[in-house]
Amino acid sequence: MAAISGLMRMMEKAARKAGQRLRRDFGEVEHLQVSRKGPADFVSKADQAAERTLWDELRAARPGWGFLMEEGGEIPGEEGKPRFIIDPLDGTSNFLHGIPHFAISIAVQERTLDGKAWGEITAGIVYQPITDQSYWAEKNSGAWLHDRRLRVSARRNLDEALIATGIPFSGRGDMGEWTRIYHDIGPRVAGIRRYGAASLDLAWVAAGRFDGFWESSLQPWDTAAGCLLVREAGGFVTDYRGRSQPICDETVLAGNDALHSKLHKMVAGAIKSA
């Protein structure tokens, strides 16, 4: 087992503390006060409280670091310091409908060498409160589920592959593009799943549960930790054009080497046919 750094232990502690509150609020989901944040995009008091818990814990442990948060936005840190990228509740719609599939995602992003831009993701955790599962990775140390090493699946054939995706919904995403991609991929694979939490989809690709994943119109906090998990588990993450970036969020394509290549050809062909 890889040695767990003090940073990762601290991140897991923060995620677990926020997760405790989410579990409690999930049990009272019908009583939550919910406000509309945008088309089909809800924010609850549980979401905000979890983010506050993460902010308090991480800021106390790493003063001077910056933050990029779903609810709180960007909070600059001291010059040259890394930042935390946080999604306190990925799968908000599942949560609000009483579906026990949601997660907390935390990633660490470093500055580029010249200090002028944001660069690599060097640590990430996706914590699933209901199952109490921590998927974590640090750069060059592998991906792990608690103390078990994770590897992407070894399947090479599309007809054996289970692929995850996210389906566009009201006010978000390009349904026409998604439909073209689905029409190319769907008939060739063993199945397609849409569970509604991108961070967990990517964690499950890292764990070999899903063989691949595609989605568009995401945000950095949805995918930052998940991208690192897949890569450290031996997989590939790119955008639809095949470019590997520290965070793939506007378009995301993940899988092992063989399936990623095959999926990329189909996705690229579907987009060109528009």
Q: Is 111 helix (H, G, I), strand (E, B) or coil?
A: strand
pLDDT at site 274: 65
pLDDT tens-digit series, residues 187-208: 999 999 999 999 999 999 999 9
pLDDT at site 11: 98
Q: What is the pTM of this model?
A: 0.94
pLDDT tens-digit series, residues 22-32: 999 888 876 66
Cβ-based neighbours of 226, under 8 Å, separated by 6 or more = 105, 124, 126, 198, 199, 200, 201, 202, 203, 205, 206, 254
Burial class (CB in 10 A: 0-12, 13-18, 19+), 154: exposed
Task: Report the C-alpha gap between 8 and 123 in whole angstroms.
Answer: 7
Task: Report the C-alpha gap between 80 and 76 in whole angstroms.
Answer: 10
pLDDT tens-digit series, residues 96-122: 888 999 999 999 999 998 888 999 999
Structure tokens that stand for 225 in this block:
């930790």
CB 174 within 8 A of CB 185: no
Residues 54, 57, 58, CA angle at the centre, nearest 5°?
80
